[in-house]
């Protein structure tokens, strides 16, 4: 999975409001390429909102988001979303079978490639023949991850990717992030799991009430420190 481009996001004074509610407030930060950035913080802090800004699933109310120096509205949306793939916490499957779902963005995907992608996400290769109806939430989320990986994205956005998974399945997803980073790709991860953020992240953003409370390497982030008993 070689990647040649340098992919850097810059948020400049970004705010998001829904009516009178402030979801994000004056966020200015750079997300560096070839790294894993974790977005942490309590529930309702704006973590998923920030993640969804990065491939224009949401638009900021104020400020702007740039990718490699170009404001996102200047980029073609389908092309952006191929480069910057989002795997949401609540998965959406689009077809009747797992194999067809993996081919949504890659009609040329072979069955062998599909099985390899499923194995990468911790699912048995034979899963390709399964109907999408009746999959568990964790299974559906991993199918969505495999579907995103089929596009060979430069950036992978993951919203709580292991919250519904057992330990072995969670380890497979964490390995996907490590492999992406090792190949020069960029990952941005929302996680309530502070131990996971310490394991995976090169950089951590901590949001609190929509504002950037901390930013730096995980060992410098007070929010990630284990609570002493």
* CATH number of the domain bearing residue 186: 3.40.50.300
> Is residue 117, in this structure, part of any structural domain at all?
yes
Is residue 131 a contact partner of residue 96, using CB atoms and an 8 Å limit? yes
pLDDT for position 4: 44
Distances (CA, A) of 125 to 53, 113, 118, 121, 218: 33, 10, 6, 10, 35
pLDDT for position 119: 95
Collapsing DSSP to helix, strand or coil, 109 comes out as coil
> Is residue 226, in this structure, part of any structural domain at all?
no
Cβ atoms within 10 Å of 198's Cβ, excluding its own = 17
pLDDT for position 226: 78
**Taking phi first (over 0 means left), then psi (-120 to 50 degrees means alpha), and beta for anything else, what does residue 63 get?**
left
The pTM of the whole model exceeds 0.85 = yes
> Is residue 222, in this structure, part of any structural domain at all?
no
C-alpha–C-alpha distance, residues 141 and 127, integer Å: 13
Q: What is the pLDDT of residues 150-162, one digit of tens each?
A: 999 999 999 999 9
> Is residue 82, in this structure, part of any structural domain at all?
yes
Q: Which segments of the chain have a pLDDT < 50?
A: 1-4, 229
Is residue 202 a contact partner of residue 51, using CB atoms and an 8 Å limit? no
Number of domains in the chain: 1
Structural domain of 54: 9-217
Beta bridge partners of 66: 10, 71
């Amino acid at each position: 999975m070689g990647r040649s481009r340098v992919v850097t996001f810059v948020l400049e004074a970004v705010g998001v409001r829904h009516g009178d509610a402030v979801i994000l407030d004056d966020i200015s930060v750079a997300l560096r390429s070839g790294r894993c950035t974790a977005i942490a913080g309590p529930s309702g802090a704006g973590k998923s909102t920030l993640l969804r800004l990065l491939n224009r699933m949401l638009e900021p109310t104020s400020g702007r988001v740039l990718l490699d120096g170009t404001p996102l509205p200047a980029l073609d949306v389908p092309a952006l979303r191929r480069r910057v793939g989002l795997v949401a916490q609540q998965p959406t499957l689009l077809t009747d079978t797992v194999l067809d779902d993996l081919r949504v963005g890659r009609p040329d995907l072979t069955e062998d490639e599909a099985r390899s992608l499923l194995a990468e996400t911790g699912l048995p290769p034979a899963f390709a023949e399964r109907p999408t109806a009746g999959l568990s939430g964790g299974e559906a989320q991993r199918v969505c991850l495999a579907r995103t990986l089929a596009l060979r994205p430069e950036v992978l956005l993951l919203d709580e990717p292991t919250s519904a998974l057992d330990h072995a399945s969670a380890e497979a997803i964490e390995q996907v992030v490590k492999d992406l980073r090792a190949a020069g790709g960029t990952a941005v991860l929302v996680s309530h799991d502070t131990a996971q953020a310490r394991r995976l992240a090169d950089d951590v953003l901590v949001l609190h009430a929509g504002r950037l409370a901390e930013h730096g390497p995980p060992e410098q982030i007070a929010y990630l420190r284990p609570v002493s008993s």
